[in-house]
Amino acid sequence: MTQDIKFKTERGSMLIHLDGMFPCTKEKFRKLLKYMKEDVESFDENIEIMKNWLLSEAHYCDEKMKKSASSYFKFHQEWSDCKAHIDSGKWSNGVVMSAAELKEEKAKMKHYKEQFTEFEIEARECKRKCEQYTGFLVIIEMDGGANG
């Protein structure tokens, strides 16, 4: 469910869909806070809505980052195991691999690499978003937490 904030400005009113607003730059965020301050009546309520939304998104991103990191390490270990088998040409128990088994291990290794690369990218993206959302919360506390 999307969260919205609505406030009046000198030129009319604005309806902001928070899901569509974020992620954004710090400059854009500060500009939004400036416009929000123009509507004294709804400012405190809108700030609370925004804080709750940012906290929720930061928590979601943090949890997703942890899951992605866990999956990354799982697939990276599988990839490392395949690489060791391919490099030695033997299974872990010392039995020599056939050409078909070697080909199958190479295919598995390629799949594992694709998987751990995807999870690494996802974890980094989640970490970046989480840091951005918590940074916006700090900005609210510093500049925008109190009207005026």
- Write the pLDDT tens digit of every residue in 44-69: 999 999 999 999 999 999 999 999 99
Torsion angle (degrees, nearest 10) of CA 29, 134, 47, 9: 0
d(CA 4, CA 125): 24
Burial of 7: CB neighbours in 10 Å, binned 0-12, 13-18, 19+ = buried
Both tokens of residue 14?
A: 């604005």
- Using an 8 Å Cβ cutoff, are 129 and 61 in contact? yes
- Write the pLDDT tens digit of every residue in 127-148: 999 999 999 999 999 985 554 4
